[in-house]
Structure 1
Amino acid sequence: MGPQDFRKMIAAWLDGSLDQEGRKLLSKLLMQSEFQEELDKIMQEQQLKGYAMQEGFEDAYQRMRSTLQTRVGNRTSYFRRYWWSAAAALVLLIAGTWYFAGETKKEGTAHAEQSTIAVIQPGQEGATLTLADGTKVLLDTLGNGIFANQNGAALYLQNGQLEYKNTGEENEKETFNTLATPKGRQFRIMLPDGTVAWLNAASSIRYPTRFAKNIRRVDITGEVYFEAAPATEQGRRVPFLVNADNRFEVEVLGTHFNVNAYEDEPLLNTTLLEGKVAVTGTRTKQKVLLEPGQQASLQKKPAAKELSVRKAATGKVMAWKNGVFDFEDARLDEVMRQLKRWYDIDVKYEAGVPDIEFVGKMTRDIPLNGLLIALEKSNVHFRLEGRTLVVTP
């Protein structure tokens, strides 16, 4: 197929006249570098300007460009830049099937195979709130407005953020709520003191519906970013404490910080963006004071006795909150742990974890299938069985 025929096919898809067989063929063509380049030319020439401006098409096109390189063992392999366009992703979605066509040969080349794979969508906003009496509320299903009252606080949902508003009612009984995000969800909450917390996928935060006057304490699992609000009582600062998986405690001294306490991660990390925090090991009672840009880590297996402090790659740490996968210097198992949580999948390795290291970034708003195409270009071989990604030699 020549460039002009390809352009006609793109135009037919855009005006809705491309039949099912044509969409399948187009999805195959878009897996080939020469047609990806031709699509780039079409967009750059603005020959489809009228379509590109619809529903943020052009913006999506630009955001979905990605560059991936891999280092395999001690050998560094640089792959040409692949621009993953919104057009390619949308065509594949409309066709209803994703075709992974590649040639895989022995000694590092791919085996020729086609597979039809269901589209797995990226994560989105959503969480489950457990009230003091055990009632569970699925926040994904609610609109804006007040939906419950807890111990003198009105629970209010506003544009994807859960807020607690003081109603002025006094109640001496301390009650707790728990906000939890499953895999494939993230959420934001404003706590009763005004502190804002962002929960990554597969995370939770337990907190009182009204903080005590002398201390503010929350318990978390998974990964949570905080922007802590200052609070005083009779001229004294009220401490804000974060208990991370009962392994270390973070004392906030007025700050922005991120805590990663996922069970399947080898390190527990606290990263400071602004202000100051004091991190204390729950078992060793060792205490370290962080400055902005620093990270305190505790190794889990084998269990380390002391916290270590180092300069943090803050951009990489905060990528999840900013809607990005940052795979800079990430090994394959680290990449897969992120994909498991965001796309709600399982990952299995047929022959151990391949020795592959990545460089690059991708947006988190694309279907898993689009991201996997990029991984294939980076010498990662796999098959998708339902919601289980099997990494093959």
Structure 2
Amino acid sequence: MENKRLYELLAALAAGRLTEPEKKELAELSLDESGAEAFQRQIAELMKVMPEEAVADKTEWLTLLNDVMATDKTAGAPVPLRRVHSLRRWGWAAASVVLLLTAGAYFLASRESAPPQTARNTIIAPGRQGAILTLADGSEVLLDSLKNGIIAQQNGTRVVLQNGQLAYDRSGESSGQIAYNTMKTPRGRQFSVMLPDGTLVWLNAASSIRYPTVFNGKNRTVEVTGEAYFEVTANASQPFIVQVKDRMSVEVLGTHFNVNSYEDKEVIRTTLLQGSVNVNATTGSRLLLKPSQQALLRQNGVLDLDPHPDIDQVMAWKNGIFYFVDAELPEIMEQLARWYDVEVRYELGVKTQYFSGKMQRNIQLSEALFVLRMSGVNCRIEDRSIIVSPGAN
């Protein structure tokens, strides 16, 4: 036994004789990053030797586990994917170990009636690094599986792929004619690029950026769709401008900021992390953002200021996390659909529900839906679709 004490505590939990001090001790062990994998393995090992009737009551186990994980281990420890205004809460200790308890919970689920064959065999992996680069001549390069090296040369510039990031290296004199490239991430992909001026850009799934291979002239102008995070190289004599559709632009000199402009969103959000930016709507509205502020461009062209956005939530996608705060179920499903490249279908009678919490983005879709089911969402996978049905799971 790799950790006798951990096993003893889990066995006591299963037997219903865990004391309050032992609950705190078990919770602290679950938060220990070095013991995270051991925690999962011990749960699975314990389940193997337990009689079936001992784990038949899933509700009781969920209550016990939630009780342990709700223990005040560290101040401000997040409790992911809890259902707002619901008596049933399914708590995880922290984002880094957000699925620790699902090892045991999966085992519990497997003791129930077997799921349909299609559901059991549907494995949908999380999104990964990948993009399509469209060169100035219109040719396309799939970046998903290319090796490091020069992948194109155009207008005096080499296009180089290095360790999963695209970069531009000036190799000669430009012809003087502006050449544009477009990098697009399909659903289920994300990628980063270093622009010719050294600016770093990360694209979320279902996003794109169009930019010149050389920044000449008065401004450095790019166009984006979807969601992108920028770390702009400072150049006071050549402002950096991000055009967002035909509705607004963001003007900076050197700064870090995030733009979320997905088509299915009614609001375009520009969030500043460092430096300063001017957000200019085509209607004439204008905002100067300070760090940790967010501009919201509404469909009527009005710009509003959010002085205290949740920066962790804004940057969650770049940090490999789904992060929801009182989010409606459709909003959660939209993010899952983009990342896992699936469709979402709702059956009649699905009620409005709100959730808060975190999940890793590197888990399989079945694991993400398991977390939602434990939070009360009745959902399943059919082929490459998520089916949401009315009623609690």
CA distance in 1 between partners of 2:129 and 2:204 (Å): 10
Alpha carbons 2:350, 2:389 under 8 Å: kept: no
1:178-193 correspondence to structure 2 within 5 Å: 178-193=182-197
Q: Does 1:201 align with 2:205?
A: yes
List per-residue Cα deviations over 1:190-240 (Å, max 9, x = no partner): 0001000000000000000111131110011000000000125xxxx2011
Letter of the 1:132 counterpart:
A
Alpha carbons 1:205, 1:221 under 8 Å: kept: yes
Alpha carbons 1:30, 1:36 under 8 Å: kept: no
List per-residue Cα deviations over 1:136-188 (Å, max 9, x = no partner): 10001211111111211111111111000111322111110000000010000
Tell me the TM-score normalised to structure 1 length.
Answer: 0.75
The equivalent of 2:25 in structure 1 is: none
Letter of the 1:70 counterpart:
R
Alpha carbons 1:184, 1:202 under 8 Å: kept: yes
List per-residue Cα deviations over 1:32-85 (Å, max 9, x = no partner): 577889999xxxxxxxxxxxxxxxxxxxxxxxx9732102xxx34341425633
Bigger Cα displacement from structure 2, 208-217 vs 174-183: 208-217
1:108-119 correspondence to structure 2 within 5 Å: 114-115=115-116, 116-117=119-120, 118-119=122-123
The equivalent of 1:134 in structure 2 is: 138
Alpha carbons 2:56, 2:111 under 8 Å: kept: no
CA offset at residue 88 of structure 1?
3.0
1:2-21 correspondence to structure 2 within 5 Å: none
The equivalent of 2:300 in structure 1 is: 304
Task: Mark the CA change 1:226 to 1:352 in structure 2 (over 3 Å): closer, same or farther.
Answer: farther
The equivalent of 2:99 in structure 1 is: 84
Task: Mark the CA change 1:136 to 1:33 in structure 2 (over 3 Å): closer, same or farther.
Answer: farther
Alpha carbons 1:333, 1:353 under 8 Å: kept: no
Letter of the 1:278 counterpart:
N
List per-residue Cα deviations over 1:4-28 (Å, max 9, x = no partner): 9x9xxxx9xx9xxx9xxx9xx99xx
Identity of aligned residues (%): 46
CA offset at residue 101 of structure 1?
7.4
The structure where strand makes up a greater share of residues is 1
The equivalent of 1:69 in structure 2 is: 82
Task: Mark the CA change 1:152 to 1:33 in structure 2 (over 3 Å): closer, same or farther.
Answer: farther
Alpha carbons 1:101, 1:114 under 8 Å: kept: no
The equivalent of 1:292 in structure 2 is: 291
CA distance in 2 between partners of 1:38 and 1:379 (Å): 17
Task: Mark the CA change 1:204 to 1:352 in structure 2 (over 3 Å): closer, same or farther.
Answer: farther
The equivalent of 2:275 in structure 1 is: 275
Task: Mark the CA change 1:274 to 1:342 in structure 2 (over 3 Å): closer, same or farther.
Answer: same
Bigger Cα displacement from structure 2, 192-201 vs 76-85: 76-85
Task: Mark the CA change 1:36 to 1:77 in structure 2 (over 3 Å): closer, same or farther.
Answer: closer
Among candidates 222, 225, 231, match of residue 221 of structure 1: 225
Show structure 1 runs of 4+ deviating over 2 A: 29-40, 65-68, 75-78, 80-89, 98-102, 112-117, 351-354
Alpha carbons 2:62, 2:90 under 8 Å: kept: no
Partner SS state of residue 312, structure 2: helix
CA offset at residue 260 of structure 1?
0.5
Q: Does 1:334 align with 2:331?
A: yes
Partner SS state of residue 133, structure 2: strand
Partner SS state of residue 375, structure 1: helix
The equivalent of 2:244 in structure 1 is: 244
Letter of the 2:344 counterpart:
V
CA offset at residue 383 of structure 1?
2.5
1:354-373 correspondence to structure 2 within 5 Å: 354-373=351-370
Alpha carbons 1:124, 1:184 under 8 Å: kept: yes
Partner SS state of residue 341, structure 1: helix
| Length, aligned pairs only | 327
Q: Does 1:382 align with 2:379?
A: yes
Alpha carbons 1:193, 1:231 under 8 Å: kept: no
Q: Does 1:316 align with 2:313?
A: yes
Tell me the TM-score normalised to structure 2 length.
Answer: 0.75
Task: Mark the CA change 1:291 to 1:190 in structure 2 (over 3 Å): closer, same or farther.
Answer: same
Partner SS state of residue 140, structure 1: coil
The equivalent of 1:60 in structure 2 is: none
Task: Mark the CA change 1:147 to 1:37 in structure 2 (over 3 Å): closer, same or farther.
Answer: farther
User: Gapped runs of 5+ residues in structure 2?
Assistant: 1-9, 15-37, 67-77, 93-97
CA offset at residue 293 of structure 1?
0.9
CA offset at residue 390 of structure 1?
1.4
